[in-house]
Structure 1
Amino acid sequence: MSAEPVKVLVVDDSAHNRRLLTELLESSPDVKVVGTACDGNEGLRQVLALHPDVVTLDLEMPRLGGYSFLRLLKSSAPTPVIVISSYAHKTDVFKALELGAFDFIAKPAKPTPDVLEKLRKELYEKVQAARLIRPAEVKPVVRKPKVMPLEPSFVVGIGASTGGPPAVQRLLESLAPEPSMCLLVCQHMPKQFTRAFAERLDKLGPFSVREAQEGDVLAPGHVFIAPGGRQLVVYRQNGQYVVGTPPPTMQDKHAPSVDRLFMSLAEVFGPKTIGVVLTGMGSDGAGGAKVIRKAGGEVWAESEETAVIYGMPQEAVATGAVSRVLPLGEIGPALVDLARKRR
């Protein structure tokens, strides 16, 4: 526990939501709500006056909405922001992440006691994670025209959690010069958001991106996003490599699970597997990293200097299975270089 509580500012136009979030946050002794605001203008004034460690933000507000708030906050007083969004506005979340939001939490439609307890735990985890945030270097990306894919020389599995959506997007954008790979992405995310995440990524460049469905056939130039609440695995069927999306088992700590994806790829592709561990809390991916390395594949990890949260990469590195530790901006070019060498 930190010596000083994490200071949180709650920005939401609903008085009910402000009270609820305050109660949930302050149920933990190491979190303190230092203020609340009913719109973006008041929120900015409160940030400058109270200097919170973290801001929770509703996107739809009168006078100054969430997007404008994020733009102004970034230029005037950069502070980690956790967006609180309803399931009905899934695409808004990813625009907010592109504008600099740290992470998001889905607002429950029916606040039953069990649902509120789950929300309380998620709030606590992400507020604590925001305190550890390391701002990633931002580089402009030149988007390449779409080209016909070549035969893949290896398959890439990508694992990410907290801070992951912008990192995954940036990685895909940097792969545009070499659309011959097939990628499978496990991003910890609620099931109501993974399809919208895939649809947003699909607009970026030469890769065809979709939320994985049972029976999808792996192909070069394609990216499959693990569906929230299920697992993403690969198996061989009738001479093809096919995607499976089984439900989680009692043993699975995450759904989707980076470990399950990595282990499946190692079993099917062996030395043609590259596992990449990006930003995130916890240790998901560390066990799978060891399996990939044992199968003759490679495991790469995002470096501490760019990882928003260094937990997952650090745990993977600690296994001894990671062969390369790279800043986020260098992972894509390194994969492109490897693809060209393996043709």
Structure 2
Amino acid sequence: MTVSVLVVDDSGFFRKRLTEILTASGQITVVGAATNGREGVELAAKLRPDVITMDYEMPVLDGISAVREIMAQQATPVLMFSSLTYEGARVTLDALEAGAVDFLPKNFEEIARDTSQLQNVLINRVLDIAKSQPRARTAGTPAKPVTATPPPRREIPPRAARAATKETHHETAPASPSRRSLKKTPARQYSVVGIGTSTGGPVALQKVLSVLPASFPTPIVLVQHMPASFTPAFAERLNKLCKIEVRQAEDGDLLEPGLALLAPGGKQMMIESRGGRGRVKILPGDERLNYKPCVDVTFGSLARSFPGKTLGVILTGMGADGREGCRMMKQSGAVVWSQNEETSVIYGMPMAVATAGLSDEVLPLNNVGLRLIEGVS
């Protein structure tokens, strides 16, 4: 199946290069290109692409406003391009909250060099988010490319319609390991709660953490796949929205009740136990690891430092990061929860945990925060 893409960017060079790279994959057809956000909204309605790539700073209508309009009219997976700056991070977080699925840094120098690594990242990201179907879409005529007609696209049942059949906290269909019936784990005391996520994570974490009371009794550590320039702004954003305190972790920080520490981008966060108290150890990002920060690294350290006294939570994200860390947790006697498929932007990381038989509970996103309140004493 060919994935149809609409490119929205005010730079003629960037539109041309994106089109060349995506088309060369043989799996992607660029069906149109827009020079500003208003034109992007109009072409999205007309062409009905599978994925939209969106610049954030454009004339007539900016990228964030365009994303909001597209999501209101006809929700479509959007890949946002942004600068690797503090301000770029804030804009990107706004775009994700508006409905964008994921983001990539907009680096003219790298795209001009035409490296195979950049091509692979871009192509794979587009193909991955094409599967996300973040919100219900109305059926209609497939997108038509500029120069050729792509094969008919298959219609995917809207997530909202599928989710409407699930009214309980837990999955009840026994068809697969990720859908087996699971009972609530009894409320218990934990030394720490670890939450790991990737694509869709910024919005998911906001939903989970914003319902927790300031008196939440257990320290929380957060691992979100995110560049180094983004995590400070993300921690600040969460702190403003939450009753608990949220900040980017620093080497030597102590774990405290009512405090959530976010792993810094580009590095690895481990938790050590000293005298029964958790302490953060920040290490340089290991180039041998795909993810910096990596959920497996942090969760593995939790399993070693607090065996049987941790709660691991895996939320939406691509890939399988977190599965081995959760396996180590389970081997130590800990508890693991994972997000369900219907509410995941990308059902990769939570699926990897659930299908490995590591999930004690499989939860809709809106229930995770509530379960933390009632399940952590």
So what's the TM-score if we normalise by structure 1?
A: 0.89
Q: How does 1:10-159 map to 2 (within 5 A)?
A: 10-88=7-85, 89-108=88-107, 110-111=109-110, 116-135=115-134, 153-159=190-196
Alignment check: 8 A CA contact 1:176 1:206 kept: yes
Q: In the aligned structure 2, how far is the partner of 1:114 from the partner of 1:293?
A: 45
Residues 30-81 of structure 1 deviation map (CA, whole Å, 9 limit, x = unaligned): 0111111000111112112211100011111111111221121112121111
Q: In the aligned structure 1, how far is the partner of 2:301 from the partner of 2:98?
A: 35
Alignment check: 8 A CA contact 2:97 2:203 kept: yes
* Residue 134 of structure 1: how far off its partner (Å): 4.1
* Residue 253 of structure 1: how far off its partner (Å): 3.2
Q: RMSD value over aligned CA atoms?
A: 2.0
Q: Which residue of 1 aligns with 2:366?
A: 329
Q: In the aligned structure 2, how far is the partner of 1:255 from the partner of 1:44?
A: 34
Q: Which residue of 2 aligns with 1:310?
A: 347
Counterpart of 1:7 (choices 4, 10, 19) is 4
* Residue 321 of structure 1: how far off its partner (Å): 1.7
Q: Which residue of 1 aligns with 2:310?
A: 273
1:200 counterpart SS class: helix
* Residue 110 of structure 1: how far off its partner (Å): 3.4
Q: Which residue of 2 aligns with 1:210?
A: 247
* Residue 249 of structure 1: how far off its partner (Å): 3.5
**Residue type of the alignment partner of 1:91:** R
Q: In the aligned structure 2, how far is the partner of 1:109 from the partner of 1:233?
A: 34
Q: In the aligned structure 1, how far is the partner of 2:112 from the partner of 2:51?
A: 25
1:231 counterpart SS class: strand
Taking a change above 3 Å as real, the CA distance of residues 27 and 294 of structure 1, as seen in their structure-2 partners, is same
* Residue 303 of structure 1: how far off its partner (Å): 0.5
* Residue 180 of structure 1: how far off its partner (Å): 2.4
So what's the TM-score if we normalise by structure 2?
A: 0.81
> Is 1:188 equivalent to 2:185 in the alignment?
no
1:22 counterpart SS class: helix
1:245 counterpart SS class: strand
* Residue 264 of structure 1: how far off its partner (Å): 0.5
Alignment check: 8 A CA contact 1:259 1:289 kept: yes
Alignment check: 8 A CA contact 2:190 2:310 kept: no
**Residue type of the alignment partner of 1:100:** G
1:282 counterpart SS class: coil
Q: Which residue of 2 aligns with 1:172?
A: 209
In the alignment, structure 2 segments of 5+ residues that lack a partner are 136-159, 164-188
- Please, which moves more after superposition, 47-56 or 238-247? 238-247
**Residue type of the alignment partner of 1:61:** M
> Is 1:257 equivalent to 2:299 in the alignment?
no
* Residue 225 of structure 1: how far off its partner (Å): 1.1
**Residue type of the alignment partner of 1:38:** T
% identity of equivalent residues: 41
In the alignment, structure 1 segments of 5+ residues that lack a partner are 139-151
Alignment check: 8 A CA contact 1:134 1:305 kept: no
**Residue type of the alignment partner of 1:266:** A
* Residue 117 of structure 1: how far off its partner (Å): 3.6
* Residue 277 of structure 1: how far off its partner (Å): 0.7
Q: In the aligned structure 1, how far is the partner of 2:15 from the partner of 2:290?
A: 31
Q: Which residue of 1 aligns with 2:154?
A: none
Q: In the aligned structure 2, how far is the partner of 1:242 from the partner of 1:109?
A: 40
Alignment check: 8 A CA contact 1:179 1:206 kept: no
Q: In the aligned structure 2, how far is the partner of 1:111 from the partner of 1:131?
A: 24
**Residue type of the alignment partner of 1:191:** A
Taking a change above 3 Å as real, the CA distance of residues 250 and 84 of structure 1, as seen in their structure-2 partners, is closer
Alignment check: 8 A CA contact 1:86 1:109 kept: no
Taking a change above 3 Å as real, the CA distance of residues 125 and 175 of structure 1, as seen in their structure-2 partners, is farther
**Residue type of the alignment partner of 1:179:** F
1:26 counterpart SS class: helix
Residues 243-272 of structure 1 deviation map (CA, whole Å, 9 limit, x = unaligned): 011124465332211111111111111122
Alignment check: 8 A CA contact 2:214 2:245 kept: no
Aligned length: 324
**Residue type of the alignment partner of 1:233:** M
Residues 209-239 of structure 1 deviation map (CA, whole Å, 9 limit, x = unaligned): 1111111111111111111111111112366
2:300 counterpart SS class: helix
* Residue 24 of structure 1: how far off its partner (Å): 2.1
Q: In the aligned structure 1, how far is the partner of 2:288 from the partner of 2:35?
A: 43
**Residue type of the alignment partner of 2:134:** P
Alignment check: 8 A CA contact 1:191 1:228 kept: yes
